Structure 1
């Protein structure tokens, strides 16, 4: 009798599941990444503050197809990083929350974080998006969703947007909220943006503009102590934030040549004031260009990256601009923190000095969280297709500071020359194993002259990385 009832229950369950599956489908995608990184002497002097760490990461992106054209998208990050909560770095190899660790029989546990959850409703001439959406524009210089196999960072927006498509053009207005203190009105940071873009895949043409205005109440501006110092402010923000970012992208491709150019301009008011009570305004910009010389009948192809990002001077206003951390130029320069002295690249306005777990983040204890800022650079890359599965890449990076560190005397602007060598194994489009060596010959800019914090070291350093990724 029990067996008969059990069979009936199982049969009913299967029938219900089958009817549900007919009305709704679930599509899975994701990616796994494992990597090891070493930087011999990031301080460029003594003590070397050597870095050696591994990362282990998995993300899953289930998509619920609720109805025709109606999708619910999400992303779950497995083995998250306790130093950088809102990242896709993955957990550090050997990190253990067991107690006592010395006698533990396992590596402890890690939390699962949900970084994306949004609804898309696709229609004939447009699409509605609501929720926490990945956000990217152009080359990813300013806004970068972190879709690359080895990207460690991502940009998301809590927004509602509607994309109107007319031929190869689309316009997308959006309304978002970056910060809400609680259920009440006030204490918020809100964004209002609009994107206009033309993209033709046949002739490889791209023209786009995105303008975003960000406004925030004074009680919602939680600038850290290092950010307040970097902006040259006297203390916490007494005024409201009113910031406007305008970005442009232009691209064109042919059989033997292609290019993309992105420029972004930052203006507005930080809400901070100087010790004299003057408002600290924003006035920075950045430009990134990429030139492509694809392989045709040859085994060689070339890429050239060049660009610049403004730095701050001694004026009251802040003139700095920082690229997104995902936009990489070299393995070491503008990627890992370098130098034994002050903030040469003036990126303390965007990078943390304290981790999510309260640990101090510095040159010897940080991930690849540096950005292009206060510098001009050029980085040509030549790639040799050894065979169908192996590529050999060589990249040279040369960079100079735009503004030397304040209060320094006889400071130079030469950041140095970097040579990166990569061996890429790709048995399929979804699998990559990259082994990389970076050799950095630092310039005299890292010595910072003979003034305050001067006479620093600029010793040779190198880095090594081995990383593998699988997407599915």
Structure 2
């Protein structure tokens, strides 16, 4: 009995020692963010009926990082109140739950709002070494200004780019090169085939001391015919009739930036070419050939209370006289104005963006329709446009900033099936009041005034009435 008791105490001591070692070798680090927004747009149709919209959004994300060993991290992200939006196309986003949306069978008699599931949007392994890092899993990805690739790190970003990939980042001084392979879709489960695969490489120079940035990212995306997943509306928007071949698209982005004490700039250009996999009635493949440019100039506050920025750029649109699709779209996180290129507007797909949406009626899409301008969130893309957006900010006090932005835009190409060649998209004036009681909390109030140009009228088919929008949104990061 005495021997048994002695052995038990030894075993207990060994267990405690092992558990203590495990606890010292592994820790858990959390970060996340909470956001609430209210948005109203008076007349997104720019005519009658107005299709006025007003909605609130509630959202929380948690990102735990398990430090398994020195330099070995397992990172994930959980999206809460973001899984049962009225529009299923928004489920894989950071948009949030519609405030007041009721999941119960009978909303009239229910005593609560119902519960929603927690979704996982990221899970990947990050192994840091002396001269580089290995990334394996479903990881976020961004590049440059976020014109094409954005991981959605902004406090009010509603969208994000992730990919299942294997990448290795080799760091040499201020330079790094990161080749990567990935997979976007696999429709055949565990079997080979039916996939969309990516192969890319990023080369970048970045010096914090010199405020310099220089980089290039090249990517090839290939997909088998059965994996593309275009719906009928997208096929019609491409100008095709069916999915009849494989997809192969090449994308290249360049970024250049330089900063000084009183001035700085960043410039990004993106190009894409290749075959969409969509075929026309004659059996020919619809190819893509488009590009976009985004430039940002900024004059930060030094001793003054004023700061100035300027955004300018363009994205090609589809040429109705060509058999290829020549449009290019910026990432939806890249916002220039509160209304323009952010919310769907008007009565036609003037910006050639139906190709990026599912659920658009193919009949309407084939006639250039834009659908659901009054029943959609801020899901519009910057495409088929030239824009110029100067902005001035004033530090009212230590906690309150006021910013005014003017946005002027023109269409690059007239929309398909248009009867008028007018290209003026109009002028927008945005007023923002930003309140930051502490560093990690901000409350932003926006008023957007839009004076639509004659392009929205398409001759005399539609109206281009004045409209305005209001947004009040708060974010807490931790």
Specify the TM-score bucket, using the shorter chain as the normaliser.
Answer: over 0.9
Q: Which of 192, 217, 223 pairs up with 1:210?
A: 217
Q: Describe the SS at the equivalent of 1:445.
A: helix
Residues 92 and 14 of structure 1: CA distance in aligned 2, closer, same or farther (over 3 Å): farther
1:28 to 2:30 alignment: yes
- What does 1:280-291 align with in structure 2 at a 5 Å threshold? 280-291=286-297
**How far did residue 429 of structure 1 move?**
1.9
User: 1:410-455, CA deviations, whole angstroms, 9 ceiling, x for partnerless residues?
Assistant: 33101000000000001222110001100000001000115xxxx2
Q: TM-score, normalization: structure 1?
A: 0.94
Unaligned regions of 5+ residues in structure 1, if any? 1-7
Determine the structure 1 residue equivalent to 2:56. 54
Determine the structure 2 residue equivalent to 1:331. 338
User: 1:75-105, CA deviations, whole angstroms, 9 ceiling, x for partnerless residues?
Assistant: 0000014221100111000011112110111
Whole-Å separation in 1 of the counterparts to 2:16 and 2:297: 56
1:184 to 2:191 alignment: yes
Determine the structure 1 residue equivalent to 2:390. 380
**How far did residue 185 of structure 1 move?**
0.4
Contact 1:351-1:370 within 8 A present in 2 as well = no
**How far did residue 221 of structure 1 move?**
1.2
1:389 to 2:391 alignment: no
Determine the structure 2 residue equivalent to 1:424. 434
Q: TM-score, normalization: structure 2?
A: 0.92
Q: Which of 264, 267, 272 pairs up with 1:258?
A: 264
**How far did residue 238 of structure 1 move?**
1.4
- What does 1:73-222 align with in structure 2 at a 5 Å threshold? 73-81=75-83, 82=85, 83=87, 84-181=90-187, 182-222=189-229
Q: Describe the SS at the equivalent of 2:22.
A: helix
**How far did residue 17 of structure 1 move?**
5.6
Whole-Å separation in 2 of the counterparts to 1:150 and 1:215: 32
Count of paired positions: 454
Q: Which of 400, 405, 409 pairs up with 1:399?
A: 409
Determine the structure 2 residue equivalent to 1:308. 314
1:369 to 2:375 alignment: no
Whole-Å separation in 2 of the counterparts to 1:280 and 1:354: 19
Q: Describe the SS at the equivalent of 1:395.
A: strand
Whole-Å separation in 2 of the counterparts to 1:302 and 1:270: 41
Whole-Å separation in 1 of the counterparts to 2:21 and 2:447: 55
Contact 1:411-1:447 within 8 A present in 2 as well = no
Q: Which of 302, 316, 319 pairs up with 2:326?
A: 319
**How far did residue 271 of structure 1 move?**
1.1
Determine the structure 2 residue equivalent to 1:3. none
Q: CA RMSD in A?
A: 1.8
Q: Which of 405, 409, 420 pairs up with 1:410?
A: 420
Unaligned regions of 5+ residues in structure 2, if any? 1-8, 362-369
**How far did residue 55 of structure 1 move?**
0.3
Q: Describe the SS at the equivalent of 1:226.
A: helix
Residues 105 and 305 of structure 1: CA distance in aligned 2, closer, same or farther (over 3 Å): same
